């Protein structure tokens, strides 16, 4: 298929803000790609499935070079156009449009297959001399592209398509195209089936293909392939927790670590994934060792928390103390000794060839106890009580806080496991500190003594895949390097993610999640969420979390009392 057809779809999507209209446009296009299901990735600006975390590795600086070389102009001219238009995609459309008018350079038809082939080569290129090869692959596409195609190629390589297609809209388009529901009840039924299939597969191409062939139920959990974790809403207090999950209930420590899904395949290979679906097996060789020597099973998927502790005092440490291990690729042995972890296992969703997601939690917990040989400061079961007594829970709650943990999890004993869902099968109980996990979507360059740093950060919540701003936050980071998180460190990270620039303001790819503490929430027409956080403060960087883990608009509304 010609890439121009896809670009027509992009343009139509970009031209409307209505979710139902976007769904209709997508559903119509899906009918044309049933024989090429992987094209569906491009509808969200990706070239791989969501579970595949290979990155294209193209910064806006490299995109500027590629545009300049393709158009035969200097980087400075591209940068000037970028400052004026604020969108490198539009810059490519403009400067290449002029070039092609002058030289009649545009002669061949660009195919979707060619675009995907070139872009999929980018993550495989590493080491000295590969930057020019990467730029060359992009230039090759730009030389064959029309101006409009060039715009979307650049937006795709930068990970910012700007067409407003969240996972919910794409899911609904699959429902419309494959099932053609005749009423609201049918739509809800099929939407739930498609969502459940996606949460197991994290691959829209597989879901689309199976939905259209009537084989959705053939999508199964499979060790070795990351799956979305079940998410937990907040409870106001112990009574509220019981109201949501029922009596009696299990209450477990809510550990101040980071979530990991431990997979053991039938061939014996162990893989570790974060809740962002990123593989971190190499970063945590001790976890591999713990499960190989302490878990009796041919294959499994365990849901667990990696918790840091002080090797001398044996006291638990907070998340920030071990967070740097998540992205560390070198010096692993040194990091192990400096920041040891204990694995606290709290759920199992696959065991010896069988999915357990429909098995009641009480039974899943009994199985964990049966197959795991506990050894303190290596691998343990999450500390748990089962009760219907408020006073007993409150005593256990205090014990968790004294052990330097975040609080408690309250869990229904009869509930299944819902990958990717934030449902009332389990809730979290934390001291009332009024905070949300939010993603940074923009920032502003500082002035005065903070000149040269990004010092004010736009933060956003989610609403069915769409990101909505809920305010700016400029406190909580350290001005001196060496603090928990300095302005310089945050600036270095965000510099790699810039996709738009307007004067002192930038917009970035939504990849950095932070915990933002606030005093209260108020309605505000200034931000797209309709709300603003009063006196917000960044308290921690959440290396382990992605956009799928941030607070939802529904949670914001609930906390605001709406």
- Which residues are catalytically annotated? 254
Helices 167-178/204-212 angle, 10° precision = 20
Which residues make beta-bridge pairs with 273?
A: 261, 279
Long-range contact set of residues 34-40: C-beta below 8 Å, sequence gap at least 24? 34/209, 34/212, 36/1, 36/112, 37/205, 37/206, 37/208, 37/209, 38/116, 38/205, 39/1, 39/6, 39/112, 39/116, 40/170, 40/204, 40/205, 40/208
Burial of 233 (0-12, 13-18, 19+ CB in 10 A): middle
φ/ψ bin of 118: left (φ > 0), alpha (ψ from -120 to 50), beta (otherwise): alpha
Tokens read off for 434: 């009024």
Tell me the C-alpha distance between 439 and 436, whole Å.
Answer: 10
Tell me the C-alpha distance between 232 and 411, whole Å.
Answer: 10
Which residues make beta-bridge pairs with 506?
A: 443, 501
Task: Give φ, ψ of 52 to 5 degrees.
Answer: -95, 110
End-to-end CA distance of the chain: 47
Tell me the C-alpha distance between 34 and 174, whole Å.
Answer: 11
Burial of 545 (0-12, 13-18, 19+ CB in 10 A): buried
Strand extents, DSSP E, 163-309: 249-254, 258-264, 270-274, 300-308
Residue 139's Cα: distance from chain center in Å?
A: 30
């Amino acid at each position: 298929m010609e890439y121009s057809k896809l670009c027509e779809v992009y343009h139509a999507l970009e031209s409307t803000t209505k979710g139902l209209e976007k769904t209709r446009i997508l559903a119509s296009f899906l009918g044309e790609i049933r024989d090429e299901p992987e094209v569906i990735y491009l509808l969200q600006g990706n070239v791989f499935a969501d579970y595949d975390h290979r990155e294209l590795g193209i910064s806006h600086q490299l995109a500027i070079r590629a545009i300049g070389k393709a158009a035969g102009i200097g980087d400075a001219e591209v940068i000037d156009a970028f400052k004026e238009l604020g969108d490198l995609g539009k810059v490519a459309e403009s400067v290449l449009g002029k070039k092609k008018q002058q030289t009649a350079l545009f002669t061949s038809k660009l195919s979707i297959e060619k675009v995907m082939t070139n872009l999929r080569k980018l993550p495989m290129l590493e080491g000295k001399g590969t930057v020019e090869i990467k730029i060359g692959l992009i230039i090759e596409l730009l030389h064959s592209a029309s101006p409009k195609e060039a715009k979307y190629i650049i937006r795709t390589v930068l990970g910012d398509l700007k067409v407003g297609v969240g996972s919910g809209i794409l899911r609904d388009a699959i429902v419309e195209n494959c099932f053609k529901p005749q009423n609201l009840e049918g739509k809800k039924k099929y939407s739930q089936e498609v969502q459940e299939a996606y949460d197991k597969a994290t691959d829209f191409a597989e879901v689309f293909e199976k939905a259209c062939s009537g084989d959705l139920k053939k999508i199964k959990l499979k060790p070795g392939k990351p799956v979305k974790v079940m998410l937990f809403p907040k409870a106001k207090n112990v009574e509220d927790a019981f109201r949501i999950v029922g009596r009696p209930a299990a209450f477990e420590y809510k550990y101040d670590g980071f979530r990991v899904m431990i997979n053991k395949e039938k061939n014996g290979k162990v893989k570790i994934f974060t809740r962002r679906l990123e593989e971190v097996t190499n970063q945590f060789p001790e976890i591999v060792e713990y499960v190989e020597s302490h878990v009796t099973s041919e294959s499994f998927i365990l849901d667990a928390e990696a918790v840091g502790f002080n090797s001398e005092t044996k006291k638990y440490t907070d998340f920030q103390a071990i967070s740097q291990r998540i992205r560390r690729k070198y010096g692993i042995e040194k990091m192990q000794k400096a920041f040891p972890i204990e694995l606290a296992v709290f759920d199992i969703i696959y065991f010896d060839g069988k999915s357990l997601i429909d098995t009641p939690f009480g039974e899943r917990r009994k199985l964990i106890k049966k197959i795991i040989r506990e050894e303190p400061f290596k691998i343990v079961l999450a500390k748990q009580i089962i009760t219907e007594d408020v006073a007993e829970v409150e005593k256990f709650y205090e014990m968790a806080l004294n052990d330097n943990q975040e609080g408690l999890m309250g869990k229904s004993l009869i509930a299944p496991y819902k990958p990717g869902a934030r449902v009332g099968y389990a809730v979290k109980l934390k001291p009332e500190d009024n905070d949300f996990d939010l993603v940074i979507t923009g920032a502003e360059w500082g002035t005065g003594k903070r000149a040269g740093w990004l010092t004010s950060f736009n933060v956003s919540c989610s609403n069915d895949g769409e990101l909505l701003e809920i305010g700016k936050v400029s406190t909580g980071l350290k001005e001196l390097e060496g603090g928990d998180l300095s302005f310089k460190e945050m600036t270095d990270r965000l510099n790699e993610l810039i996709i738009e620039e307007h004067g002192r303001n930038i917009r970035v790819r939504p990849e950095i999640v932070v915990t933002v503490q606030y005093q209260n929430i108020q309605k505000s027409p200034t931000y797209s969420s309709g709300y603003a956080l009063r006196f917000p403060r960044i308290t921690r960087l959440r290396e382990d979390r992605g956009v799928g883990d941030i607070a939802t608009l529904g949670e914001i509304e609930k906390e605001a009392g709406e």
